[in-house]
Amino acid sequence: MASKAKVVIVGGSFGGLTTAYALRGYAGSEQIDITLVSKERRFTFIPSLIWVAIGSRSVERISFDLEHPLESKQVRFVNDAVTTIDTSRKMVLGTRGEHPYDFLVVATGHRSANEAVDGLGPFDGPGHSPMSPPEAEELASAIRALLRDPGPVVIGAAPGASCIGPAYELVFELDHLLRQRRIRHVAPLSFVTPEPYLGHMGMGGAGAVRQLLERAFEEREIPYATSASVTRVTTDAVEVDATRSIPSALSIIIPPLAGIEAVANSVGLANPKGFIPVGTGFRHQNAHGVYAVGVAVAMAPVSETPAPVNFPKTGHMTEQMATIAASDIASVVSGRRGRGEPEAELSARCVLSMGDRGIYMSVDPVRPPRNKIPTISEGRAWMVVKQLFERSYLWHARHGRRMPTALGW
């Protein structure tokens, strides 16, 4: 009897969890042993971190322990911090042991490169960011302080950022919160972005989203600067293009992303920024049996811009990558994989929170040019949809199930 294939998945967020669930759906435990290695014991619904920052969610409410749902799918969970990946030995090395593999899926997510902007903390500088649970909780504390003692706020993204959506959500959510508290008049908001225009979001825009966002900023009296490079954050200002300073009592800046240290330092695995080059099926271009999904994947910008803006990677896109990689692994194990599979075209569907309403965007494919005209819709109903999606996704995921929807996020 042939030995079972050993699959190791590194990372327990959208990419890792989706890969594990999808792979077990494609192949039973008699064909494949699956081990998921994660530094974090808990899955966190990352899109809701903006609500943690605003104060309408707790991290506990949007997270759950990984072990039980994974074991229910016959996936072994190992709580371990990966230190390096040895592709020559086909071995993942962690602080608690070694994990041999026949197939490896790197779904490690990102490291926030806060060091790219002087003063962008939050733990070693005055700037704030919502990119991880601890940072979102720290930002929530800073927003509570702002509500007690209002002042000017600057929200935006640093040059080289790729995850710009949360900056838009935070500026609208904070605008809504300040108006509810009747202190918006003493807390002016400003928005700075490296995008060449509002709504570019690293994907070259989408339909009429630019016009919708420009109107929303004008209606809410939020001045904005595009093609702007945040160069420094101080306790009372945000410096832009090293030539001007915007007063700020609270500064929230989305940083550029980089690959995590364990991936970046593994020989022959990643590019200089720590991201992994992949080809068809999200297979590594050189390392045998290695796949990458989600933020860990290297993707070129859609075009050159005056200030650098990188290609976005949403949770919805990550799940598509994970499903494709899982299918490819299962087809190799079973001997079904054909030749010359077409490159995957990723689509994006998401709802952007605006405090009391939402913007729905459907873009297919994400990278232009596109055969389909993007769908853009604004309304209060989309905010309800976003809230229900969060609740439904968490319920399905914590019960070992994949979310049965084409909505995306």
- Mind telling me the catalytic residues? 163, 350
Residue owning tokens 């002042």: 151
**Radius of gyration of the chain measured on its C-alpha atoms:** 21
Residues recorded for the chain? 409
Whether residue 374 contacts residue 362, with contact meaning beta carbons closer than 8 Å, is answered with yes
271: tokens are 């590019």
Which residues, in sequence order, are CB contacts of 366 under 8 Å at separation 6+?
203, 311, 312, 317, 346, 347, 348
DSSP state of 114: G
DSSP state of 365: S
Cis (ω within 30 of 0) for the bond into 122? yes
> How many Cβ atoms from other residues are within 10 Å of residue 79's Cβ?
17
Q: What are phi and psi of 228, to 5 degrees?
A: -105, 140
Whether residue 108 contacts residue 260, with contact meaning beta carbons closer than 8 Å, is answered with yes
Whether residue 193 contacts residue 226, with contact meaning beta carbons closer than 8 Å, is answered with yes
Q: How far apart are CA 234 and CA 250, in angstroms?
A: 10
225: tokens are 């600067």
Whether residue 6 contacts residue 101, with contact meaning beta carbons closer than 8 Å, is answered with yes
240: tokens are 């832009």
Q: How far apart are CA 62 and CA 121, in angstroms?
A: 24
DSSP state of 195: S
Q: Is the dihedral of CA 394, 396, 397, 400 positive or negative?
A: positive
